[in-house]
Amino acid sequence: MRLNVRSLSIPDVKLIETARIVDARGYFAETYVRRDFAAHGITYDFVQDNQSASIAVGTVRGLHFQAPPFVQGKLIRVLSGRIFDVVVDLRYSSATYGKHATVELSESSGEQLLVPAGFAHGYCTLEAHTVVLYKVDAPYSAAHDRGINWADPMLNIAWPIEPEKVILSDKDAALPLLSDLPVIFD
């Protein structure tokens, strides 16, 4: 197995497992090989890598997305630690609009999450000193940076942390509810 790809509860969101060669030293893995991804129909042209480090358990980052014309597809993986990862479908004409999918990602599993454009993305750290790396297929644009509130009751996300213990940025704490957003993705 070079690459194993499977859909989550929202079919366009994919969990990707790459092979690891394990020995007494640890492991080696090819985490992204364009031709292997293309063989599975994944043909994103990634243009930027982003990395975030979170010190404490219960750090929530998100739910973020970029509006057109700077929409981003993302390929997310955990370099150290573990996260509860969440995606929310914002494609208004989609049968899964407003629905979410969740998955746990960790350094030990090595799995990656492919999030297409038109989705909000966020995560909660489950271990201290968690580092997340994600590839994106469009550069960051502050003017197009958007989000929805992580605790939006309409989304009904079963976050693994009590709301009063969450660590959030001021920006993320002030994000609007889904019902307050205009239609961004048809």
Q: Are 14 and 6 in contact (CB under 8 A)?
A: yes
Beta bridge partners of 16: 5, 112
Assess whether pLDDT exceeds 90 at residue 1: no
Q: Count the neighbouring beta carbons within 10 Å of the beta carbon of residue 101.
A: 21
Count helices and strands (H / E) in the chain: 2, 13
Residue for token pair 């201290």: 128
- Say whether 134 is catalytic: yes
Amino acid at 140: Y
pTM (predicted TM-score): 0.95
Average pLDDT of the segment spanning 21-33: 95
The candidate with the shortest Cα–Cα distance to 120, out of 137, 145, 143, is 145
- Report the pLDDT value the prediction gives residue 2, as an integer from 0 to 100: 83
Catalytic residue among 32, 44, 64, 123: 64
Q: What's the rounded Cα separation, in Å, for the pair 186 and 171? A: 26
Average pLDDT of the segment spanning 55-79: 98
Average pLDDT of the segment spanning 32-61: 97
Q: What's the rounded Cα separation, in Å, for the pair 96 and 94? A: 5
Q: What's the rounded Cα separation, in Å, for the pair 105 and 126? A: 10
**For residue range 138-166, what is the model confidence (pLDDT) as tens digits?**
999 999 999 999 999 999 999 999 999 99
Task: Report CA Rg, the chain.
Answer: 16
Catalytic residue among 32, 44, 123, 134: 134
Name the token pair of 180. 């307050």
**For residue range 96-129, what is the model confidence (pLDDT) as tens digits?**
999 999 999 999 999 999 999 999 999 999 999 9
CA angle 134, 65, 72 (to 5 degrees): 55
Distance of CA 40 to the CA centre of its chain: 19
Q: Count the neighbouring beta carbons within 10 Å of the beta carbon of residue 125.
A: 27
- Say whether 64 is catalytic: yes
